[in-house]
Amino acid sequence: MELWDIYDMNREKTGQTMVRGHEFEEGCYHLVVHVCIFNAEGKMLIQQRQSFKEGWSNLWDITVGGSAVQGDSSQTAAERELFEELGIQLDLQGIRPNLTINSERCFNDVYLVEKEVSLDELTLQYEEVQDARWATLEEILAMIEDGSFIPYYSSFIQFLFESRGKYGSHKR
């Protein structure tokens, strides 16, 4: 059973929790994190979700993403997701997300990181990830078009690539 902290619309913790998969009450939100790792060539590390994973099975996705669990800060959730899904250790303490996207029931924090990562050194979490690779903007846009990538807005993916290495992005 996974517990999430509940936030109000101003992103203040309410002191309450909810069980993942339960219905949200009106005015309740939770925190989701996403990390996009780029290499010096300007490629993004992407992962393919497992075939048996509920939601977007077999599709490719940005480096990592997931919900913060009870007690997580945005940074600790992002660090945990990176380590659990790909075996990447990264210190994000003191780092703010590059952007936050407010959606219907969540605050989506997005971190843009430049880091050289060897595919051979990744440890893929069997329950979540079946493959990982580096991809260019053009490759990801083509994958969105052909239905093999989660259907993000193309302009959002372009924004991530254009923002990398600019003000607010992080080298690790």
Tokens 């059973």 appear where? 1
- Domain boundaries, given as residue ranges, for the chain: 31-171
- Name the CATH superfamily, with its identifier, for domain 31-171: Nucleoside Triphosphate Pyrophosphohydrolase (3.90.79.10)
63: three-class secondary structure by DSSP: coil
Cα separation of 91 and 78, whole Å? 9
What's this model's pTM, rounded to 2 decimal places? 0.93
pLDDT at 23: 87
What one-character-per-residue DSSP string does 135-162 give? E-HHHHHHHHHHTSB----HHHHHHHHH
The DSSP call for residue 96 is -
Q: Residue 38 corresponds to which amino acid?
A: F
Q: Residue 81 corresponds to which amino acid?
A: E
Segment-wise mean pLDDT, segments of 10 residues, the chain, 172 residues: 93 93 90 97 97 94 96 97 97 93 95 96 97 98 98 96 77 62
